[in-house]
């Protein structure tokens, strides 16, 4: 079973990034690279080689789905699992994100105390 260690989290909102970092690093023990935009993620992903990418859906310029498309074009990233994080979690919206290639969707706002367990559960269900 593959182990989840390295997570790239792409989120334009600094407060949410900070809470997610605390949740994933301090509570979950993951190694996390935080990116503030899709462009930031594309520029830095090669040096990090994430096991999993968490993508905010609503971001200025490159949104989550556009960032996912661009990441899929990069060598070695086509198979990296991606989960979207969004407040838009109607079943039709979730299905559309999965149709884009996401393995799951995490609802925002999220509980910082359970986020790492939720991420690990998604990993175990889809990858591990």
- Look up the CATH number of the domain holding residue 85: 3.40.50.2300
Domain for residue 125, yes or no?
no
Which stretches in the chain have pLDDT values below 70?
1, 128
Looking at residue 102, its pLDDT comes to: 96
Residue 114 confidence (pLDDT): 96
**Could you tell me if residue 1 is inside a domain?**
no
The answer to the question of residue 55 being in a domain is yes
For residue 126, being part of any structural domain is answered with: no
pLDDT of residue 16: 96
Question: What's the pLDDT score for residue 127?
Answer: 85
Q: Would residue 27 count as lying in a domain?
A: yes
**Domain annotation covers residue 83:** yes
104-107 β-sheet, strand order: 31-35, 6-10, 52-56, 82-86, 104-107
Residue 74 in any domain: the answer is yes
Q: What is the pLDDT of residue 86?
A: 95
How many domains are contained in the chain?
A: 1
User: What's the confidence (pLDDT) of residue 3?
Assistant: 94
Rounded to the nearest integer, the mean pLDDT of the chain is: 95
pTM of the model: 0.95
Domain residue limits at 39: 6-120
């Amino acid at each position: 079973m593959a182990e989840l260690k390295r997570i790239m989290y792409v989120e334009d909102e600094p407060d949410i990034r900070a809470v997610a970092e605390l949740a994933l690093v301090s509570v979950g023990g993951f190694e996390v690279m935080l990116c503030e935009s899709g462009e930031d993620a594309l520029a830095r992903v090669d040096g990090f080689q994430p096991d999993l990418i968490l993508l905010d859906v609503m971001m200025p310029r490159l949104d989550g789905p556009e960032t996912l498309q661009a990441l899929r074009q990069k060598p070695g990233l086509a198979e990296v699992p991606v989960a979207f994080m969004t407040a838009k979690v109607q079943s039709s919206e979730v299905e559309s994100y999965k149709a884009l290639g996401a393995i799951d969707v995490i609802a925002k706002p999220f509980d910082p105390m359970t986020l790492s367990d939720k991420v690990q559960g998604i990993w175990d269900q889809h990858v591990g």
